[in-house]
Amino acid sequence: MYKIIDGKALSAEIRREIKEKVSAFKEKYKKEIGLAVVLVGDNQASQVYVRNKIRACEEVGIKSYAYYLPKETKQSELNELISGLAADKNINGILVQLPLPAGLDSESALKLIPREKDVDGFSAENIGQLCMNGESLVACTPNGVMQMFKHENIGLKGKRAVVVGRSNIVGRPMAMLLLNADATVTVCHSKTVDLKAECLKADILVAAIGKAKFITADMVKEGAVVIDVGMNRDENGKLCGDVDFENVKDKCSYITPVPGGVGPMTITMLMYNTLIAAERAV
């Protein structure tokens, strides 16, 4: 019998803890914790994400600074804003919402965010520290997945973990976190030979490729823990993940749904990272 890992409920629980810690921080140091969110252009999905992040800040007591720039913004203008935020002592975390409009270089913009304010955990320095199992701000989605394992008491030591997807945002940091937790890790991608055979070896299977219902029942080992990071639309326009949930769930010991699984954890871990950044700055 499978168990659904309820990301929505766990997220709410962690946010309550963050709210208490933020309140204690403000009481102790007599100062706010600040998160700057930069949105360039009019991408509707990005606007929704930014609104959700600002709402989460309000919920836990973090002060948000939102900067909305037109899509015609020049690289120099964007870089100047980020450099200013980097130097501002009231700002503990800086988030540049991706993707940026065509013509803007996200890499050069993100490089201007200091490691200690990189609450997305995307910087080369934070990724490097993660690879060395050092102190870092960890990418929010993989960190959220690790919190799910912890909450459900899912042991990782010695387990065979397969991560499908090698993006810098999810796949690679996810693999590093699992490796740091003493799992034996395989990373699969579009050039993997016999993906099905690799997935069938997994005690822990993490799908992060962005293809609706790509992971099917014949790719999942009996009793596996299946984590679905995907957020897609099916043929009927309904939200779904990378895993064919209805047909896969009965083979699992644990599985995350879409929506309501990994998704809610991502913004919660952004709040967590902002709190950690503030604590390290005092």
Both tokens of 176, joined, read 């590093």
**Residue 244, SS3 per DSSP:** coil
CB 148 within 8 A of CB 227: yes
Strand boundaries in 121-166, DSSP class E: 160-164
Residue of 234, 239, 217, 235 whose CA lies nearest to 226 = 217
Both tokens of 88, joined, read 């501002």
Residue of 153, 220, 177 whose CA lies nearest to 5 = 153
Catalytic residue of the set 97, 159, 242, 244:
97
Residue of 202, 150, 142 whose CA lies nearest to 174 = 142
Both tokens of 94, joined, read 């800086």
The phi, psi pair for 253, rounded to 5°, reads -90, -40
How many of the other CB atoms lie within 10 Å of CB of 49? 18
Residue of 206, 210, 200 whose CA lies nearest to 240 = 210
Residue holding tokens 């984590």? Answer: 227
- DSSP code for 248: H
Both tokens of 71, joined, read 């899509």
Q: How far is residue 199's CA from residue 187's CA, in Å, rounded to a whole number?
A: 10
Active site residue 53: yes
Q: How far is residue 102's CA from residue 120's CA, in Å, rounded to a whole number?
A: 21
Catalytic residue of the set 6, 21, 53, 242:
53
Catalytic residue of the set 21, 63, 117, 120:
120
Positions marked catalytic: 53, 97, 120
